[in-house]
Amino acid sequence: MTSKRSYNIALLVFTLPTLLFFTVIVVYPILQTFQKSFFDWDGLTPPTFIGFDNYVRLLDDSDFWVSLKNGLIFALVLVVYQIGLGTLLAIALSTKTLRGRKFFRTSYFVPVVLSGVVVSQLWIAIYNADGGLINSLFRLFGIQYEQAWLSGEHTSIWAIAFSGAWHHLGIQLVLIYTAIKSIPEQLYEAATIDGAPFWKMHWKITIPLLSETYKFCLVIAITGGLNAFQNMFVMTNGGPGNISYTLTFMMYKAAFRSGEYGYGSAAAAVLVLECLLFTILINKYIAREKISY
Amino acid sequence: MYDKMKKPATMLALLSMVALTLSACGSGDKGNNAQPSASAPASAEASASGSAPAEETKAPEPGSIKLKFYAQYSGVEIPVYDAAKEAMKQIMPEVDAEFEVAAQDDEQKIKTYAAAGSLPDIFFASSGLIETLKKADNLYVMDDVVKELNIESLLNESSKPMLWNKDGHSYSVPNVGQWAGVFYYNKDLFAEHNVKVPTNYDELLEAVKAFSAKDITPLALFAKEKWPGVLMLDMAVVGSAEPGGLKRLDNGEGDFSEEVYLKGAQKISELVKAGLLSKNAFNTTADDAAAQFKSGKAAMLLNGAWSMAFQYENLGDKLDILYNPLIDADKADQVQWNMSGGGFNQGFAVSKNSKNVEAAAKYAALFSIEFAKQRVIQLADPNSILVEKVVPTNGLNPVQQKYADDSANFKSMTTFAWGYENAKYKTSIEDNTQKLFAGQKPEDYIKDMTKALENARK
C-alpha cells in the first residue's frame, strides 16, 4: 500500500514539471485563443464580446476557403512525398546490398539541418520564372511549358508545398528507416526461404509492420501541412493576393496586419479543431492494434 | 512513511515557489503596463527642471536621462541619425538616446510593445500607427511641447499641416518632407528603341506594347511588396480626375461603385495584359527591380521619389522621372500636378508611459528638426520641411533638381499604402490589388473591394 502510494507520488513529482510547462506554454494560450475568438479586439483596447460573429464572418470570407483548401493541399503533398517517397528510400537504405548507404542516409538528412529561410530562398531561385532552374530545363529540352511557378493561381501552393516537403523529408525518412530496422530479421529470412520476391516481401511484411510508425508520421505530416506558414511567408508573402494563404497565414494577416486579433483567433481556433479532428481520425483508423515482436 | 514523503514534498514545495515567483514577475510587469511607475512623475519633474533656470535647480548630469529610441536606424539613414544625435548632444546634453533598429514587419513589433505596455520612449510612427495607438491611449499629446519650442515656426508652409492630426492635436513631429510616387525611366532605352516617353495613359500603353514586343520588361515593379501596386492603381485613379485617389476611401468618403475606380482597375488590367510586368514580378524585391532597371532589362521602375539619389547612382544621366503616365489624355492639363504618394502625418512620437515623458517629448520634437536638416545635408532631399535654407553637401543631381523645381507646382497628394489609417482597408486593398496585377478581372476586383470596404468601415 505504502509502496504504491509513494510510487504514485514519485510519478506525480516527475510528470508535474512537464505538465505545468505544457499547460502554461500550450494549453493556456489555446484556451485563450478560443476565448478571444468570441470578441472584437484589436489587441490594444478592451475587447467587446460579439458571440459567434467572427465564425459567421469566416464562412463568408474567401480568404478562409482558400486557406482551408491550401492547408489540405500542403498536407497532401507532405503525406505523399515524405511518407510515400520516405518509405521507398527507407526500404532502399535498409537493403544491405545497396552500396553507399551511409552517404545517402546523411545526404537525405542534410536539408533538415538548413534553416527554413535558406531552403525557401533556394527554391525561390529554382522556381524563378525568368531563368530559374526548372524553366531553364524546359527551355533546354525545347518544351514550351515555362511557368510563373510561385505566382500562378494553380501552381503556387503546390510549388511551395513541395519545397516544404523536400525540406523535412529527412525526418520522416529517419523515423521509417528506424522502424524498418526494428523489424525482426527472421520474418524476412522466412519469406526468402518461401521464395517471396523483394517488393512482395516488403509489401507483405514491412508496410503492415510500419503501421504504428505511419500513425505518428501521418500526424506530423498532416498537422505540419495544415499549420504551414514559414514557406509562404518567405517565398510569396501569401500572394499574389491570397492565393498562397493557409489558416496560419490568414491568422497572421488578421491579427498583425489588420489589427483584428479576435478574428485572427477565430481562424486559429478553426485550425486547432482541424488538427485535432485529423489526429483523432488517424488514431481511430490507423494501427488500431498494438504490434509487438 | 514520513521520510518517503519528505523528498517529493520538498520538490513540490520548490516547484510551487518557482511558479509563484514566475507569476509574481508577470504581475509586476502588468502593474507597470497599467500605469506609469511611481518614479515616473519624479523623473518627469527632474527632466522638466532640466530646462528651468540654472540658479533654481542643479543642471542634470550629461547623459543622465536614458531614452530608448525605436527608429529605422539602418542603411543610408544611419549617418543621418548619428549626425542628428550628435547635434542633440549640444541642445540636450542630459539625454542619452539609444537607438533600437525598427523591424520591417508591418509594425508588429511596435504594436506588441504597446500591447505589453513597454513602448520605447520615442519611436517612429506612421499615420496608421498613430491612429491605432491613439485609440489605445498610448501616445503622448505633444501640443504643449510643440508650442513651447515653437516648432511650427521652423516648418515651411507646406509642411505645417503635417504637424497636426485631424483631431487638432499633435502626436508626432514630422521628420521628412512629402514624397511623391514617380516612374523612373531609362532615357537611352526609350531613344534606342524609338519609343515615345509616355505623358498619358494611351502613350503608356503603346510604350508597354513596344517594349514587350522587344522582350524588354516595360516596368520593373517589385510586386513582392504590396504597396507599389497600390501606388500604381492610385495613380490610375488620380489620373482620371479624382485627386483623392484611394485615400479618400480610407477617409470614409465614396466607395468602389464610382466609375473612376473601375476605370483605374481597367487601366491596370489592360497594361498587365499588354505585358507590363515580368513573369517573376511577384517574387521581385526592390533590390531585384533596381538591378533589372540598372542593367537595361527594364525600361521603367516605380518607386517613391526618395529613391532618386540611389537610382541616379545606378543610371547616371540616363535617368529621368515621370510623375504620372497613367493620366487620361483628355484630362492631362487638369490633373498633371495631382500627385500620388506622400501626404500623411507621421514622424517621431512619444510613449505616454515613458518614465521621462517630458524630456522624451522635447527630445523627439527637436530631434525631428535636426533629422530633417541632416536628411537634406547628407542625402540631398529636395523636399525639405524646414524654413531654414539647408544646403546639401554634394548638391542636387539633375533629377533631384527637376523634382525640387517641379514640386512647387504640386497641387495635391494622396498617400502611400502604409499611410492609410484604416488597417483593415489597407490590408484588403494591398492583397486585392496584387490579385488585380496577377490578372484578376477589374469587375471582380471592384466586387471584392466593395465587400472589403464595407467590412473595413464597420
Mean per-residue pLDDT, B265-292: 94
Contact state of B434 with A239 under an 8 Å Cβ cutoff:
yes
Residues B122-141: pLDDT tens digits? 999 988 889 889 988 999 99
Residue B335 pLDDT > 70: yes
Q: Is residue B311 part of a domain?
A: yes
N- to C-terminal Cα separation, chain B: 66
Give residue B31's pLDDT band: very low, low, confident or very high (50, 70, 90): very low
Give the pLDDT confidence score for residue B169 in this predicted structure. 94
Measure in Å the smallest separation between the Cα of A258 and chain B Cα atoms.
5
Q: Which residues of A touch B265 (CB under 8 A)?
A: none
Residue B45's pLDDT is 36
Average pLDDT, chain A: 92
Q: Using a CB–CB cutoff of 8 Å, tell me whether B440 touches chain A.
A: yes
Which residue in B has a C-alpha nearest to residue A1's C-alpha? Answer: B1
Domain count of the fold of chain B: 2
Computed over every residue of chain B, the mean pLDDT equals: 86
Question: In sequence order, what are the residues at sequence separation of 6 or more whose Cβ sits closer than 8 angstroms to the Cβ of residue A56?
Answer: none
Tell me if B445 sits within 8 A of B251, measured CB to CB.
Answer: no
Same domain, B105 and B243: no
Tell me, yes or no, whether B16 lies in a domain: no
**Rg value, chain A, Cα:** 23
| A251: CB partners within 8 A, 6+ apart | A264, A265, A267, A268, A271
- Is B402 inside any structural domain? no
- Asked whether residue B270 falls in the same domain as residue B240, the answer is yes
Q: How close is the nearest chain B Cα to the Cα of A44, in Å?
A: 5
- Place B458 in a pLDDT band, splitting at 50, 70 and 90: confident
Q: Are residues B216 and B252 in the same domain?
A: yes
In a domain, B365, yes or no: yes
Do B154 and B214 belong together in one domain?
no
Q: Quick one: B324 and B446 in the same domain?
A: yes
Q: Which of A6, A130, A239 sits opposite B279 (nearest CB)?
A: A130
In a domain, B236, yes or no: yes
What pLDDT, on a 0 to 100 scale, did the predictor assign at position A266?
A: 97
Same domain, yes or no, for B371 and B243? Answer: no
Q: Is B11 on the interface with A (CB under 8 A)?
A: yes
What is the Cα–Cα distance from B363 to B54, expressed in whole angstroms? Answer: 19
The pLDDT score that the predictor gives to residue A156 is 95
Do residues B198 and B234 lie in contact, with contact meaning Cβ atoms separated by under 8 Å?
Answer: no
Q: Which of B4, B282, B427 sits opposite A258 (nearest CB)?
A: B427
Q: Which of B330, B364, B379 is the endpoint of a domain?
A: B379
Sign of CA dihedral A128, A129, A135, A139: negative
CATH number of the domain that residue B89 is part of:
3.40.190.10
In terms of domains, do B61 and B78 share one? yes
Query: Residue B19: pLDDT above 60?
Result: no
With an 8 Å Cβ cutoff, are A62 and B19 in contact? no
By C-alpha distance, the chain B residue nearest A40 is B458
Q: pLDDT tens digits for A209-225?
A: 999 999 999 999 999 99
**Neighboring chain A residues of B417 at a CB cutoff of 8 Å:** none
Inter-chain residue contact A128 with B283, CB threshold 8 Å: yes
Inter-chain residue contact A257 with B440, CB threshold 8 Å: no
Residue appearing with cell numbers 491570397:
A242
B132 in contact with A at a CB cutoff of 8 Å? yes
Choose the final residue of a domain: B325, B352, B379: B379
**Does residue B44 surpass a pLDDT of 80?**
no
Give the lowest-confidence range in B53-62, B128-137, B266-275, B373-382: B53-62
The band of B12, judged by pLDDT with boundaries at 50, 70 and 90, is very low
pLDDT of residue B88 exceeding 50, the answer is yes
**B445, B296: one domain:** yes
From B379, B403, B431, give the residue that closes a domain: B379
Name all domains of chain A by residue range, CATH numbers in brackets: 63-285 (1.10.3720.10)
Taking any CB pair shorter than 8 Å as contact, residues of chain A touching chain B are 2, 6, 9-10, 12-13, 16-17, 20, 42-45, 57, 62, 124, 127-130, 132, 146, 148, 150-151, 153, 235-243, 253, 256-260
- Note the pLDDT of residue A283: 92
Q: Answer yes or no: is B33 within a domain.
A: no
Percent of chain B topping pLDDT 70:
86
Report DSSP letters for B215-228, one per residue.
T-EEEE--TTSSHH
| B136 and B255 fall within a common domain | no
Highest mean pLDDT among A267-271, B115-119, B278-282, B308-312: A267-271
Between B250 and B31, residue with greater pLDDT: B250
Residue B116 domain-assigned? yes
Residues B331 and B257 occupy one common structural domain: yes
Q: Which amino acid is at B83?
A: A
* Alpha helices for A1-94 (secondary structure H): 2-22, 28-36, 53-59, 62-78, 86-93
Contacts of B289 in chain A (CB under 8 A): none
Please report the pLDDT score of residue B57 as a whole number. Answer: 56
Residues in chain B with CB shorter than 8 Å from the CB of A150 are 282-283
The C-alpha torsion from B289 through B190 and A130 to B445, rounded to 10°, is 70
Q: Which of the pair, B52 or A23, is modelled with greater confidence?
A: A23
Residues B235 and B309 grouped into a single domain: yes
Determine the distance from the C-alpha atom of residue B215 to the mean position of all C-alpha atoms in its chain, rounded to a whole number.
Answer: 34
Establish if B385 belongs to a structural domain: no
Q: State the average pLDDT over residues A78-89.
A: 96
Can you give the pTM of this predicted structure? 0.82
Least confident of A233-247, B13-27, B188-202, B238-252: B13-27
pLDDT the model gives residue A256:
87
Residue type (1 letter), A284: K
Q: What percent of chain A has pLDDT above 90?
A: 81
Amino acid at B297: K
Question: Omega of the bond prior to B120 within 30 degrees of 0, cis?
Answer: no
Q: For residues B93-104, b (16+ Cβ closer than 10 Å) or e, as one string?
A: bbbebebeebee
Domain that holds residue B239: 181-343+414-456
Say how many CB pairs under 8 Å bridge A and B.
Answer: 108
* pLDDT at residue B22 is higher than 50: no
Interchain CB contact of B278 with A (< 8 Å): yes
Q: What is the mean pLDDT of residues B175-179?
A: 86
Whether B160 and B210 share a structural domain: no
pLDDT tier, B273 (very low <50, low <70, confident <90, very high otherwise)? very high
Whether the per-residue pLDDT at B453 is higher than 50: the answer is yes
